[in-house]
């Protein structure tokens, strides 16, 4: 049987929530389950936040950029190692990315580089419109420092927390609570899923109100369809929100299971030339995917040798995200760093990490990898 990288994991609570929606005939885009899902996530994150459930994390990012005032020609500073859906909305807006490397001790945006460059940009009168860090593979970015920089230079901070719901950062602050807005994803491969979907989380009530307005075709108050600006069909459906309500009941246990899976991989596979994503003290990662690097000079095999071997046994593994400054679409875009992310992409691999994976399945993955490593 195929072992998947990370597949949806239902809890049994979802069917009852969906049945409630069907029984009340709220199968159209909005309804009480949608409202309740937004409230439930806001309660989980804490701190008086406002949540707007949307059709995808990319939709949430698109709205956040528009509400932040990002427009054609504006610069947005962004982690280069990220998923394409975490940057394509810049293209929708006509904005220009400036890419930044990762901090090797954290595997998130290198804030030292950002601080160095923003001081220079301020002197030269070319500050970015927004900073957009990615919380890679479930690890929180250095949000406190980024918030201080953004406030000092009057720059918007939008945090891509698509992979980190359930994580926490310094001070036990939950991931998804940073900046002017944070972006969550409920895609099928995430910690919890609504089959597809996302959420905009913001401390600004006016941002949430504007997001709801724009996400429902920007319809002005009137008995007919009146539009003073353009909008989008971005709202999450009530049925999908019902699934999300059921999934929220098991979010923390899903994170615990993924961390257990990471710990078993780490204990079995750590050796010279095999290094796992670090977790600095005071951070609590979701370990959405177990990510590691394989040094071919020390192990005698490449990450691609391992990936293809696993594929032969119907075991799904995946390279780390290819940095965006290496993508043909963004050829020539400015990049700051020493190539930490480039080396991680060259040697990095994500192992099967779904919370429904059994110990026996994981043991098979471990045995196959140890065999190719000659252990």
Give the domain-ending residue among 194, 220, 248.
248
Same domain, 234 and 276: no
Say if 8 falls within a structural domain: no
Counted domains in the chain: 2
Q: What is the pLDDT of residues 93-152, one digit of tens each?
A: 999 999 999 999 999 999 999 999 999 999 999 999 999 999 999 999 999 999 999 999
Q: What is the pTM of this model?
A: 0.96
Give the domain-ending residue among 230, 248, 266.
248
Same domain, 194 and 272: no
- Element housing 225 (H / E): none
Same domain, 18 and 131: yes
pLDDT value of residue 68: 98
The residue segments making up the domain with residue 342 are: 251-372
CB atoms within 10 A of CB 123: 8
Angle between helices 251-269 and 359-372 (to 10 degrees): 30
Same domain, 103 and 239: yes
Contacts 24+ apart (CB under 8 A), 18-21: 18/239, 18/242, 18/243, 18/246, 20/242, 21/238, 21/239, 21/242
Q: What is the pLDDT of residues 150-201, one digit of tens each?
A: 999 999 999 999 999 999 998 889 999 999 999 999 999 999 999 999 999 9
Give the chain's radius of gyration (CA, Å).
21
* Both structure tokens of 235: 């709202």
């Amino acid at each position: 049987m195929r072992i998947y990288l990370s597949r949806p994991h239902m809890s049994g609570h979802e069917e009852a929530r969906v049945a409630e929606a069907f029984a009340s005939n709220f199968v159209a885009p909005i309804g009480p389950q949608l409202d309740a899902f937004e409230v439930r996530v806001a309660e989980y994150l804490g701190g008086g936040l406002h949540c707007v459930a949307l059709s995808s994390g990319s939709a949430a990012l698109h709205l956040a950029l528009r509400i932040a005032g990002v427009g054609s020609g504006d610069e947005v500073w962004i982690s280069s190692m990220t998923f394409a859906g975490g940057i394509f909305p810049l293209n929708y807006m006509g904005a220009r990315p400036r890419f930044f490397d990762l901090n090797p001790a954290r595997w998130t945006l290198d804030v030292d580089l950002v601080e160095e460059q923003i001081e220079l940009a301020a002197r030269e009168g070319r500050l970015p419109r927004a900073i957009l860090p990615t919380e890679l593979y479930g690890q929180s970015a250095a949000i406190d420092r980024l918030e201080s920089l953004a406030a000092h230079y009057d720059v918007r901070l939008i945090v891509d927390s698509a992979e980190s719901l359930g994580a926490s950062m310094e001070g036990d602050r939950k991931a998804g609570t940073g900046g002017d807005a944070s972006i969550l994803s409920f895609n099928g491969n995430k910690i919890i899923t609504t089959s597809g979907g996302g959420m905009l989380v913001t401390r600004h009530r006016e941002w949430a109100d504007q997001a709801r307005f724009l996400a429902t075709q920007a319809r002005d108050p009137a008995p007919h369809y009146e539009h003073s600006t353009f909008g989008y069909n971005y709202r999450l459906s009530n049925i999908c929100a019902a699934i999300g309500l059921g999934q929220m009941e098991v979010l923390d246990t899903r994170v615990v299971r993924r961390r257990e899976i990471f710990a078993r991989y780490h204990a079995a596979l750590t050796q010279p030339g095999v290094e796992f994503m670090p977790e600095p003290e005071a951070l609590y990662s979701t370990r959405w995917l177990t990510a590691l690097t394989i040094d071919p000079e020390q192990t005698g095999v490449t990450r691609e040798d391992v990936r293809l071997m696993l594929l032969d046994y119907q075991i799904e593994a995946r390279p780390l995200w290819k940095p965006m400054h290496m993508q043909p679409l963004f050829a020539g875009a400015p990049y700051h760093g020493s190539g930490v992310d480039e080396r991680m992409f060259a040697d990095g691999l994500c192992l099967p990490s779904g919370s429904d994976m059994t110990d026996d399945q994981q043991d098979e993955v471990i045995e196959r990898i140890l065999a190719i490593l000659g252990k």
